[in-house]
Structure 1
């Protein structure tokens, strides 16, 4: 109970911290939440190939680089694809589905006939030079079979697989075939304990269950063979490392978590003991993997995926792991890297001991037998006549049985994560190694998410820089598997709906030298005219690349800037568009070469993610406006506008269309629910001038909001602890939660009234007095006059109709929406003669209360005239499907 309360308190505090950190402009002291530099939506993917079939859940992949074939295991089928182009029609298929009788038996066991009662291929690897070996769940009765690679058919009848494959499709599982011996780790049987086994050939070995259970509710995510015998001066044996998450056994003063990440190892030549540990591992040891931010008390205990990066020698092997938080309803991920030497030091350190056969494991301080328990057979042991594990003394094997856990924890490189993401759950990863033009070797990571995104990142000086994020699927779905091919220069992604093949890099996406260098992609460099793939270039002497700083090399290159002209009347509002392709860039505006200083309410300017807004333009604001993208301390000009503000421009006729783009903005009104029949108050005038909205007062408001929110968090924490205490002592007290329910005899009616009241607070977005006549001429948007709002085409946010009380009259309905013209004219105009071409992006602007709709260029016109409500609904519907996570700014409140 105490542990549950502790976890709940931590969850509440984490939520408070995340919400507070999101309140601009306050940020955490150490911002580890890395932002991807470029975002590419599904429609913008280049060089993408896909494979889909009637099967589902493509979760197992095997890449054969020599034969250029990609083998894919799915639900009820196995496929052989062309690795160079998986979408080619040359795919081969082996259908292997469970029989109707087996599915019926699965249903009788109480399993789900939509997910579990199928044959999910969980294992697919090469067995020898001519055959593959695969295993499937087969509707909760696992089977395995051999595949003739050349003919791609099953070469034998399926054999029993319950000791090699898990029963369910979601059970943690990892397996390797090494020298035609199969090593697996999973919870095999229906109600068995997790186990690490060598299945064939004889002798078969497994982990111990009594008197000390070596694995405690373990969930396996990966395994790897490290041939430590190569070049070993001690005659060491090869090792197999297993990575998993299990229930914690340690009880220390530094941490207390219900689950922890582990790494375990066994010796490949282990044959078990003669009498003690017979048919059991004699070399099994395990240690804890730590991936945490100790200064924030964030411990990422859930290991989700691991990738083993071989080095030039076995000692240079690196382990990359994806970790998550123990709280399931909080999305966060961390990437940590471990070296083999750190793992070996942990296995050479002190042991842990279970002193009272309970859950209290403490460091063992007694005498350690000789030879050291858990070690592999080496030249030193062979010299003593111990050539195999069956020759080990009984005191050594008894010690191994009772001391499988090591005391020393395995710390990550640099003692901290390479990457931390607050709003992302990574599922799988793969790592590529490439040499940059500076002669350094860089590790490039490809990480898939639970929503079907692929992040590409490069490690630079112990930190990850996310080069790009790619949306792989239109509908969110998790990445089930990930493979890289250096020969094909491709990354393969398996998902529930199919397999996706993408190039390792898309250098042609970067259109300028600065854009190419800012990306810091080791695959890409600038050749003077375009961004090219380094691996495809024979002469690299003239290429420009700067991975370390991401800023040098483009000083002497030519950079063309687009120049546009605008002529407007005095008093009009002008939006100068400037969209930045990089999420890491910030806009900078200059007027005639001088930087614009300040964007306050009285400055006449507003800046935002879409551009610069000139409000009620004056003649002295004419000049050359230039937008710069500031990234890595470099200013890169994006676009220039030659703006002329004149008095002699006549107001356009309401009937005759003009080419001047139309700017639409709406004041955001605070929502208010009116229970009475009175009409809601009129909207506030545009551009309110109030000292309350000055930057200093806004900062005070932000501080007040964060302080109040922090106080609420403290109060909720106290209440949570108090409720937990009441539940703990509930049997001794007289307070009963049931009494509260009895106080409401008409609880259903009360709930219905609450639901109606909740619905009454929903907001509606409407237009007021916006009209189009039969010829498609729109009338609306007039200025404020004498404090009253005349007929105008502006947005008003009005509360939904309240139904909280049947005795009160509901407020009068809003004015009707304008009728849609039956035959829209080629262009729709407003009284001012401005073009009513509506925008395609709805964005916030920094420092004011406007919602801006993007204007079109002066040379473009709207092909059709729609009523404003229809056009806005169409825009909002489109944006609902394509909107990414917003970046908070001052207008977020």
Structure 2
């Protein structure tokens, strides 16, 4: 019982943790959940070049700036593109598809013949000055080959790649060629374990898998060479190191809830030669440590590593690692960006080890004696002085310790102990980083991050936090970004995806049209010249340029941008929309009337504000004046547009105009515009201008209006109930004939119908009841009912009784005719009374302002109220004849709403 209770308690605790973690991304710290300032759709991209072919899955890229070549590996093909313009027709192609025999063998293994049974290029790197080296999955039998760079052809017979390339197109994989030696990390066989290997030339090395497995279901995302030997002296180390980044199953034992997977960094020495007897053909320098990217104040961890970019510094110790981290739960989208320094990684590898003494699944910190020399270190000058020149000379106790203690206890913490960026509802897939020197002399790191839906986010790191300058929709069809490469020489970023490759400029400063717009962007590549926003790299004279990356607010105090001035003349009582479009997602609108800020937008204020602008409701003469819209960003007000609004009583109605087939979202939620577009095109009339204006519809009488409407609908329900009772009574009479009641039963007085109906003496009458819905448009014209003054009523109404099958007797005469309907009066009474005494002169369309939206209320089939009174359509037509109109100026710059 105790075991069951403890298990239940642990399960409850786990469920609480999962629920809390899954719900957390919707409650992020405000300073980390950053909104991109500018949104640019694919139709608004400038300087965009694209490359596509019959191949798919452009996942591998090698950029060589010196030769101005961009090599791209796809499914069944390798391309050599012109880096300055990838869309040019000078692309070179090598077609390398799997043979039909190998595809058939792949399908016989049960693999997908639409995705797996092809040759997906997974490795493409330079081997020497004349050749490239390429590896592909080759339908689950990996092959590798050399490519002659000059002729761009495969120059050798493909060789077995099972120890160099993964068998599947989506397996985690990374690889490097260093001094013609190939270092790779992957799961190389279908049933094998993940492994880090040096494949060629001799000696080949790999990670250990017994008695202690060094890698536990590892999924690799990247690797990098760090030349720590540069500038080193004495015993500080003279061997370069190769770092591998991956996510694997957790091995640590902690007192708190532990994720099943964790992010890791592993290290091996370039000069490692394995051990003499212990660890033969195994790494003697392999160590791994955990990478943490978390929000400590919320005890929330991003434990899945998706991408890693290594930023070299001026010195090896200044090397930085930028990583994209995600959540373990696939149903919650969120991403974090953390930055790590090389010194933090080295400190973790110099700390205490972890051990697994009882061969269980959990590890804990080792507290025993550590052999000398320290296990896992590279061969240094100090070791050479002791006669240890290569790893094969290391003592067996040191190698045995390395074999059993590959995991470090100390975790690698990010800079500032927190993420640079957190994004909910976004899954970043790849990243590239560029260093840019601003006009203030500081060096800024600009990050380009691709998403799983084909967007590219550009951000700048300022004081340990990221500011997203813009988000670009690179692909119209959502698809993941597979690769990113940056060329400082070409000033371009290259984006690989399943459908193709896109080349974009690193910055497009012409997108910013004013001084403040250029300054607010905080793009280190852009500055204001006094006339336009320009790329600083193209300017020889920079002394007059204005830029403020640190704060994004200074420098434009003495500049004056042109503000659009528009005039509007409207009639008293009309609704008027003053449009104001903000290009920045970070800006908020502020409206002033005659230089006084408008305060409050309540129900009785006469104003509404939304994403489209300011709406003046039932304009009054005292609301005339100068209306100015400001964009407030970084606590600075920037005027956008000014309207000179004149509200008059003596304006004639405007001439009729042709309807504009366009859609316009009034106060709707929509993405911020990417570019300023002309507002001179007249806007179509809003729903407000099509509605009748009446005191009955004013906000003061809305409550009474709703009560009246509810009462009327209730009365109609009572009438329908009485009719149903009457029909049931008729059925009980047993009529044999066939009768059709075509009257609008819901509106005609029930007691009159009862007086005019005759009792029938026939039996077995069958009647069918149907409710017929009628349709009314906004002008009160109803379809489904058509009345004539001769008393005939055609199809329609709320209730209709249609003929059914009747059983007539052969010796009986024809059934008597239906009772005549009362004639339609020629002069209906001005007031129409329902059976409950309520007036029926309400219009069939009502308007209600609710926040920033319009609501249309329609009553169905106004024709069926009563033949003794005006129909709703007639009453509405009379109201519409009195409707007020907006008077446009002779040359309006924008239509009135």
TM-score, structure 1 normalization: 0.76
Q: Secondary structure at the match of 2:372?
A: coil
Contact 1:652–1:833, Cα closer than 8 Å, also in 2: no
2:229 is equivalent to residue 214 of structure 1: no
Give 1:461's match in structure 2, choosing from 460, 463, 482.
463
> For residue 554 of structure 2, what is the aligned residue in structure 1?
552
- Within 1, Cα distance between the matches of 2:228 and 2:443? 23
**What SS class does the counterpart of residue 222 from structure 2 fall into?**
strand
For residue 410 of structure 1, give the secondary structure of its aligned residue in structure 2.
coil
Match of 1:485? Answer: 487
Structure 1: runs of 5+ lacking an equivalent: 22-27, 668-683, 693-764, 774-784, 800-810, 816-828, 838-856, 863-893
8 Å CA contact 1:573, 1:663 repeated in 2: no
Within-5 A mapping of 1:229-378: 229-233=229-233, 234=235, 235-378=237-380
Residue matched to 1:426: 428
Match for residue 522 of structure 2 among 494, 511, 520: 520
**2:272/2:284 contact within 8 Å kept:** yes
What whole-Å deviation, never above 9, does each CA across 1:689-740 have from its counterpart, x for those lacking one? 7899xxxxxxxxxxxxxxxxxxxxxxxxxxxxxxxxxxxxxxxxxxxxxxxx
Give how far 1:766 is off: 9.6
Unaligned runs of 5+ in 2: 1-6, 661-680, 690-695, 705-774, 784-838, 849-853, 864-879
Decide whether the 8 Å contact of 1:657 with 1:834 is kept in 2.
no
- Aligned-residue CA RMSD in angstroms? 3.1
Q: Which residue of 1 aligns with 2:821?
A: none
Over residues 644-678 of structure 1, what are the superposed CA-to-partner deviations in whole Å (9 max), with x where a residue is unaligned?
A: 011122344679999996642479xxxxxxxxxxx
**Matched residue of 2:537: which SS?**
helix
Q: Distance in 2 between matches of 1:663 and 1:10?
A: 52
2:10 pairs with 1:10: no
Are residues 331 and 29 of structure 1, via their aligned partners in 2, closer, same or farther at CA, if it must alter by over 3 Å?
closer
Deviations 1:401-458 (A, max 9, x none): 0000000000000000000000100000000001000010000000000000000000
Distance in 2 between residues matched to 1:585 and 1:110, nearest whole Å = 55
Aligned 8 A contact 2:77 2:96 in 1:
yes
Larger Rg: 2
Instruction: State the Cα distance separating 1:601 from its structure 2 match.
Output: 1.4
Aligned to 2:537: 535
Q: Distance in 1 between matches of 2:522 and 2:298?
A: 30
1:193: which partner in 2?
193
DSSP 3-state at the match of 1:518: helix
Please name the residue that 1:704 is paired with.
none
Matched, 1:789 2:843: yes
- 1:17-71 per-residue CA deviation (whole Å, 9 max, x = no partner) reads 556x5xxxxxx66442100000000000000000000000000000111110100
Deviation at 1:790, TM superposition (A): 3.6
Using a 3 Å threshold, how does the CA distance of structure 1 residues 271 and 525 change in structure 2: closer, same or farther?
same
SS in 2 for 1:479: coil
CA contact (8 A) 1:333 1:420 kept: yes
For 2:94, the equivalent position in structure 1 comes to 94
Distance in 2 between the 1:31 and 1:401 partners?
Answer: 44
CA distance in 2, matches of 1:660, 1:183: 64
Q: Distance in 1 between matches of 2:435 and 2:577?
A: 46
- SS of the equivalent of 2:112 reads coil
Number of equivalent positions? 715
In structure 2, the partner of 1:68 is 68
CA distance in 2, matches of 1:135, 1:271: 25
Q: Tell me whether 576-585 or 599-608 shows the greater mean CA deviation.
A: 599-608
Match of 1:730 in 2: none
Cα deviation, residue 360, structure 1: 2.1
The structure-2 alpha-carbon separation of the partners of 1:547 and 1:655, relative to structure 1 and needing over 3 Å to count, comes to closer
1:105 corresponding residue in structure 2 = 105
- Cα distance in 2 for partners of 1:241, 1:248 equals 19
Q: Which residue of 2 aligns with 1:163?
A: 163
Match of 2:123 in 1: 123
CA distance in 1: counterparts of 2:255 and 2:514, whole angstroms: 55
- Give the distance between the partners of 1:660 and 1:95, measured in 2 at CA: 54
Q: Is the 8 A contact 1:835 1:861 kept in 2?
A: no
Deviation at 1:11, TM superposition (A): 4.0
Take 2:887 and 2:119, find their aligned partners in 1: how far apart are those partners?
A: 58
Does residue 595 of the first structure (1) align with residue 621 of the second (2)? no
Aligned-residue offset at 1:793? 10
**Is residue 2:144 matched to residue 1:136?**
no
Alignment of 1:731-880 (within 5 A): 768-769=778-779, 788-790=842-844, 832=883, 858-859=892-893
Other-structure match for 2:394: 392
Contact 2:591 / 2:629 at 8 angstroms: preserved in 1? yes
Stretch deviating more after TM superposition (571-580 or 229-238) = 229-238
Instruction: Name 2:606's counterpart in structure 1.
Output: 604
